[in-house]
Structure 1
Amino acid sequence: MTYLVRYSKGMMSSRILILLWISTLMSGCIDPFEIETENFENILVVNTTITNEMKNQEVLLTRTFRFEDDGPLAEEGATVKVVEDASIEYLFEERSPGIYRSVQEFAASSGREYQLSIQTIDGKSYISDKVTLPQETLIDRIYPQRITNNDGVEGLGIFVDTFDPTGNSLYYRYEFDETYRVVSPKWYPFDLVVTRDGPGLLFFEFDLVERSEDQRICYANNKSNNIKLTNTAILEEDRITGLEVNFIPAEDIRVENRYSILVRQYVQSREANGFYEILSSFSESESLFSQIQPGFIEGNIVSENNADEKVLGYFDVSSVSEQRIFVDRDDFLADLPSFELQCELFRPEAGSATLLEYHMLIRDFIDSNTVRYYSDVPLPPDGSIPFTFVRRVCGDCTTSGVSEAPDFWID
């Protein structure tokens, strides 16, 4: 097997050493090389969808970045506004680098035209086409179903049904937020602490203190990172039945316990659908080095200063409907293998070390915050018995989520 290690300029020497260390664990030959982008174009990237929800709407501005860079650079200090019917202006303020939110809450309304206006800190101006709000259509239902996917993997599929009797919606886009409960498999009600140490001692003294219940049950969250599109333009009626919007393998941590998903359905214009179809095909390209690469994705935003300047993005105004469901594993996947962490107990070995040196090792283990104490054996005051630990992820769920349940959570 051949592994590719990519080095970029300006990496810290420690990072290079780590990569080299990892490479020694890999089989095969490694030819490190440096990739540099040629003919780079610094293009403004606009990401926004204005909806019919009454809320602080959001516009995200970044710049394209080179392949060897760490990620996109936020476009800061811009003046952003959305204009309704060429008369009402909704101003946006920068809440964090590149993220602009409307100063006041507003919702897109049917029969109105909306236009996005951006002026960057260097004085360049950008304007979108005027767009209108499409037909609003509610989700009929979201439902789970045990299925086997195309790769032969069993798990939980999430499906959506919807219907527009007027036949005007036609083009749909789906996103989701998923939240799941994480239970620490080796949570222990006590933490090990050092109660007495210092120079001149022959050994440390240890004690057990109650551990917070906050490390026992947590909640983690994921957002969809792909583009799910469908349309009914060539169908006899504007109806969607059994569209799969997500799939979770049975052995995934997300369905190890209790799972919830919020599905958002956007009804969008034909033009917006075309843009997202191209964007989806680009993002699903098998490799950045594949022979066929899509060209520039043209949206509906242009530069007012330079007609030849490229702008990447689409000013989208969509109607939205959403539904949330909860799923318990036992209702669908009880007889299938489930997610399982490797949580073997381990004891730091003293070897030929003195008791004091061994205790110093245990103290360093505790201070590293990478392990959690776990034992059913009573702890003697002098710590003469071996101490037992598990990896932190096994005894502390805050490595995977947060301890406070979301407001919407229902047990």
Structure 2
Amino acid sequence: MKALYRYSLLILLYIAFLTGCVEPYAPPVIESDTNYLVVDGFVNSTDGTATVKLSRAIPLSSTDSPPAETNATIFVEDDKGNRTALLGDQAGNYTGSGIPIDMGSKYRLRVRTFDTKEYLSDYIELKESPPIDDLKFIPGDNSISIVVSTHDDTGDSRYYQWSYDETWEYTAVYVSGLIWVDGEIIDRPYSEYVHRCWRTTSSKHIIINSSEKLQQDMISEFPVVNISKGSQKLFIKYSMLLKQRVLTREAYDYWEELQKTTESLGGLFDPQPGKVTGNIHNVSDTGEPVLGYFSGGSVQEKRFFIGLLDLPDHLKAFQTVGNCTLDTLLLADVPNYYPDFNELIGTANNGPILIGYTYSSKSCADCRTQGGTTTKPAFWQ
């Protein structure tokens, strides 16, 4: 805790310095070597799986993404001698399944990086999460707030953390009914339409709350996320899969401290302004800072949907044409058509006579350019 206090003090002094000086200054804590290992690990006692994300910290001034730590050897170990290996990919994600779960056992993470450094987490206890009581939205003047409620009659939870996957359905401005194939323009098969998409993203911010100061172990209508009026997410239909975990007091303190030092600057995976160390340590060099936390327990999930018609009238918004335009490709110019940046929409006629075809940019006629996929999710209603 003394080290954590020093790091927090450095951050506070840095903020105070900025507010009192006219000329900008980049302090050593920001610009010094920050190639620290970052570990985000969790054992899911619900299904006996484990997920670990390994990366390297980068300076706050950097605009690059944190580099993934690949080719590491990772094990989840319990205090009875059982060990499960995790397999990694090139993005620094390591997963494992078939972990023997005993809620009475304690677990730790063992990491051996490609440069043969070895790291161990502290042993952790697994925490049971109560069910999610309710997940709904509350309309505001210019946005909706998605809120969660939960409680634990035993009073053993107290410290909660949430994450979510959100999926929304949307369309391109124009429907491309034609396709360019080997120099010819033909009707686009219905199975190849690129007008309707579904996009899924995951939460990137720290979402925690505690009932520690309440008489009852209860969280009531805690805001998870706000969505503004006019967001593409609300044009047709939106869905959220919320995941709830219960933390130990030590894990909660870690995430709360990290929230304080990062949320004002960006997201969870953005560069960090200081060293908020967790429960993972270098086996042979205890002085090396290691960022991140290893925790575990059960996960409760709840999904809900919001359709356009579910919104109050003052929050309903519809997609507009915006900057999208339609241009005409005359028949004489068809041999010179360049399809890489455009999509064909339909025919252009002068009365009954075909004179060419209409087209627009891919960003206006191919929904996939906005990050989605034309494959409808299996859970979609």
When normalised by structure 1's length, the TM-score is 0.76
Whole-angstrom CA distance in 2 between matches of 1:252 and 1:127: 44
Quote the residue 1:26 is aligned against.
none
Query: Which structure 2 residues correspond to residues 357-376 of structure 1 after superposition, within 5 A?
Result: 358-359=333-334, 363-364=337-338, 366=339, 368=340, 370-375=341-346
**Aligned mates of 1:257, 1:270 — CA distance in 2:** 41
Is 2:127–2:248's contact at 8 Å kept on the other side of the alignment?
yes
Match of 1:80 in 2: 74
Do residues 209 (structure 1) and 183 (structure 2) align? Answer: no
Q: Is the CA contact 2:37–2:57 (under 8 Å) kept in the aligned structure 1? A: yes
Find the partner of 2:223 among 219, 244, 253: 244
Alignment of 1:346-357 (within 5 A): 346-347=326-327
- Seen in structure 2, the aligned counterparts of structure 1 residues 346 and 184 have a Cα distance that, compared at 3 Å, is closer
After superposing the two structures, state which structure 1 stretch, 209-218 or 394-403, moved more. Answer: 209-218
1:121 paired with 2:114, answer yes
Q: Give the number of aligned pairs.
A: 347
Q: Which runs of 5+ in 1 are unaligned?
A: 1-35, 149-153, 196-205
Give me the whole-angstrom Cα distance separating, in 1, the residues matched to 2:180 and 2:292. Answer: 53
In the alignment, the residues of structure 2 paired with residue 279 and residue 83 of structure 1 have an alpha-carbon distance, to the nearest angstrom, of 26
Which residue does 2:179 correspond to in 1? 191
8 A contact 2:178–2:185 mirrored in 1: no
Supply the AA of the counterpart residue of 1:176.
Y
- Give the counterpart letter for 1:222 in structure 2: T
Letter in 1 for 2:70: E
Amino acid at match of 2:380: W
Q: Check 1:208–1:123 CA distance in 2 against 1; reply closer, same or farther (3 A cut).
A: closer
What letter corresponds to residue 54 of structure 1 in structure 2? D
Query: 2-side partners of 1:379 and 1:84: how far apart?
Result: 76
Q: Does structure 1 residue 329 correspond to structure 2 residue 308?
A: yes
User: Aligned pair in 2 of structure 1 residues 333, 392: CA closer, same or farther (>3 Å)?
Assistant: farther
Residue 101 of structure 1: aligned partner: 95
User: Match of 2:38?
Assistant: 45
Q: Mark the CA change 1:308 to 1:156 in structure 2 (over 3 Å): closer, same or farther.
A: same
Give the SS at the match of 2:162: strand
Q: 1:384/1:405 Cα in 2 relative to 1: closer, same or farther (>3 Å)? A: closer
Counterpart CA distance in 2 for 1:314 and 1:74 is 17
Partner of 2:377: 406
Cα displacement (A) at 1:187: 0.6
SS at 2:89 equivalent = strand
TM-superposition CA deviations, 1:116-142 (whole Å, max 9, x none)? 111122221111111101232111111
Question: Where does residue 3 of structure 2 map in the other structure?
Answer: none
Are 2:198 and 1:219 equivalent residues in the alignment? yes
For 1:340, which of 320, 323, 336 is the aligned residue?
320
**Amino acid aligned to 1:319:** S
Amino acid of the residue matched to residue 158 of structure 1?
I
Equivalent residue, structure 1, for 2:130: 137
Partner residue in 2 for 1:198:
none
How many angstroms does 1:99 deviate by?
1.8
Alignment partner, residue 147 of structure 1: 140
Within 2, Cα distance between the matches of 1:162 and 1:145? 16
Distance 2:113 2:179 in 1: 53
1:389 aligns with 2:363: no
C-alpha distance after superposition, 1:340-391 (max 9, x if no partner): 34254332699xxxx96x555x512x2x2x2222345338999755x43223
Task: Give the aligned partner of residue 24 of structure 1.
Answer: none
Question: Greater shift after overlay, 173-182 or 207-216?
Answer: 207-216
Residues 194 and 363 of structure 1 are in contact (CA less than 8 Å); yes or no, is this contact kept in structure 2? no
On the 8 A contact 1:145/1:332 being kept in 2, the answer is: no
Contact kept, 8 Å, 1:50 with 1:108, in 2: the verdict is: no
Report the counterpart of residue 16 of structure 2 in structure 1.
none
2:332 paired with 1:377: no
Runs of 4+ off more than 4 Å: 192-195, 379-385
Q: Could you tell me how far apart the structure 1 residues matched to 2:179 and 2:349 are?
A: 13
Distance 1:184-1:42 versus aligned 2 partners, 3 A rule:
closer
Q: How does 1:268-279 map to 2 (within 5 A)?
A: 268-279=247-258
Amino acid aligned to 2:292 = G
Query: CA-to-partner distance for each residue in 1:45-104, whole Å, 9 max, x for gaps?
Result: 1011212221542111112234446222222222211111241111112233422211x3
Counterpart contact for 1:108–1:317, Cα < 8 Å: no
Asked if 2 retains the 8 angstrom alpha-carbon contact of 1:116 and 1:128, the reply is: yes
Q: Which residue of structure 2 aligns with residue 173 of structure 1?
A: 161
Cα deviation, residue 194, structure 1: 7.3
Structure-2 separation of matches of 1:142 and 1:287: 26
1:320 paired with 2:291, answer no
**Residues 178 and 346 of structure 2 are in contact (CA less than 8 Å); yes or no, is this contact kept in structure 1?**
no
RMSD over aligned Cα atoms:
3.0
Partner secondary structure for residue 230 of structure 2: coil
- SS of aligned partner of 2:140: strand
Where structure 2 has 5 or more consecutive residues not aligned to the other structure, the ranges are 1-27
In 2, Cα distance between equivalents of 1:51 and 1:286: 30
- Is residue 241 of structure 2 the alignment partner of residue 262 of structure 1? yes
Shift of residue 211 of structure 1? 4.5
Q: Percent identity?
A: 27
CA-CA distance at 1:161 after TM superposition: 1.0
Which letter maps to 1:209? D
Cα 1:55–1:333 change in 2 (3 A) is farther
> Secondary structure of 1:182's match?
strand
Question: Which deviations, in whole Å up to 9, do the C-alpha atoms of 1:301-350 show, x marking residues without a partner?
Answer: 11111121111111111332110011111111444333434254332699
User: 8 Å contact 2:348–2:358 — kept in the other structure?
Assistant: no
